Amino acid sequence: MLTLRLLALSLALAGCGRDPRPEDIQPIGFTDDIALEVDNRNFSDVVIYLRREGTRTRIGEVTGSMLVTLMIPRSLLSGITREVQFQADPVGADRTITSYPVFIRPGEHVHLTIENNFRAATIQVVQ
């Protein structure tokens, strides 16, 4: 009986919270493109993609053992969804590296480091 009361109480409390309404969420407007600095420490060339809302968009290609700055078009980042991931796809390989989700705000830039063994990548969002 105590279990039923606790269950009923938890369900009632769960219903008290409210989801943000669309009018409560303000879209972020980017006025400039965002710099993505890619440090490819592997010998293979990689194609860099931005993943957002289930869509994968090609940003550019980075030659092996190079440090390159790519520009992310502001149109890919504007809107309500602020969470993105980056994916490095080595040319001729059968696996990819995907970063953990990050949030980017206007005025920030991103550093993506692809390690030599393709097992790891690090990402930083910097003001």
One-letter amino acid for residue 46 of the chain: V
Structural domain includes residue 44: yes
Q: Give how far Cα 33 sits from Cα of 17, 70, 96, Å.
A: 37, 10, 25
Count of structural domains within the chain: 1
3-state SS assignment for residue 74: helix
Residue 12: inside a domain: no
Asked if residue 15 belongs to a domain, the reply is: no
pLDDT at 11: 47
Contact 36, 104 (CB under 8 A): no
- Residue 108, domain CATH: 2.60.40
Residues linked to residue 113 through DSSP beta bridges, in sequence order: 39, 122
Instruction: Note down the domain range covering 91.
Output: 29-126
Sequence length of the chain is 127
**Residue 22 included in any domain:** no
State how beta strands 34-40 and 109-114 pair: parallel
Return the pLDDT at 25.
Answer: 56
pLDDT score of 124? 81
- Given a contact cutoff of 8 angstroms between Cβ atoms, the answer to whether 102 and 110 are in contact is yes
Could you tell me if residue 86 is inside a domain? yes
Residue-level pLDDT, tens digit, the chain, 127 residues: 555 454 454 544 444 444 444 555 566 778 889 999 999 999 999 999 999 988 999 999 999 999 999 999 988 887 766 789 999 999 988 888 899 999 998 889 999 999 887 777 788 888 7
Amino acid found at 11:
L
* Entry pTM: 0.75
Is the residue at 57 inside a domain? yes
